[in-house]
Amino acid sequence: MSQDQQITSAELTSSPSEEASSEAITEVAATEPTDNANYNTAYASQAAQAANVNHNGNLTNGNTAGAAGSEAAAQMAAATGVSQSTWEYIIARESNGQVTAANGSGASGLFQTMPGWGSTATVQDQVNSAINAYKAQGLSAWGM
């Protein structure tokens, strides 16, 4: 918007068509998607995926947290208050329970944490890195 087109707040409040402008703004707000709506849609998708975890911790695609992942998930639940099944879901999705999983972006371990969160040399290191990530970003560190 150029300087000539900018409207001051004084002009907005003194406008004779204030009521019409308010209605137009309401209509636009009601029809345009917001970032919050997109976030809620993405979160609902993640929740639906989490609901696809079988009673034994396996994802419907066959991924599982595995024994080491279940133990790590129990530690995460105790440290964060987030349910063990949520952590098992994250581990199954991120690494399929593979302690040594790594990807090209640099993320590694059960939780696929980035190097900045800490070492992933041992399972305990991976739990500590995941706790660091959780403290800084909550579950959003894993897209939830």
Is 102 inside a domain boundary?
A: yes
Give the domain range for residue 44: 36-142
Q: Is residue 13 part of a domain?
A: no
Beta bridge partners of 108: 102, 113
* Domain assignment of residue 29, yes or no: no
The answer to whether the beta carbons of residues 84 and 90 sit under 8 Å apart is no
Number of domains in the chain: 1
Is position 57 within any domain? yes
What single-letter amino acid sits at 123? V
Of 43, 41, 121, 109, the residue nearest 76 (C-alpha): 109
27-32, Cβ contacts within 8 angstroms, sequence gap of 24 or more: none
15 occurs within a structural domain? no
Residue 24 lies in a domain: no
Q: Is residue 21 part of a domain?
A: no
Q: Please give the chain's pLDDT, 144 residues, in tens.
A: 444 444 333 333 343 444 443 343 333 334 334 444 443 444 444 444 444 444 455 677 789 999 999 999 999 999 999 999 999 999 999 999 999 999 999 999 999 999 999 999 999 999 999 999 999 999 999 999
107 in a domain, yes or no? yes
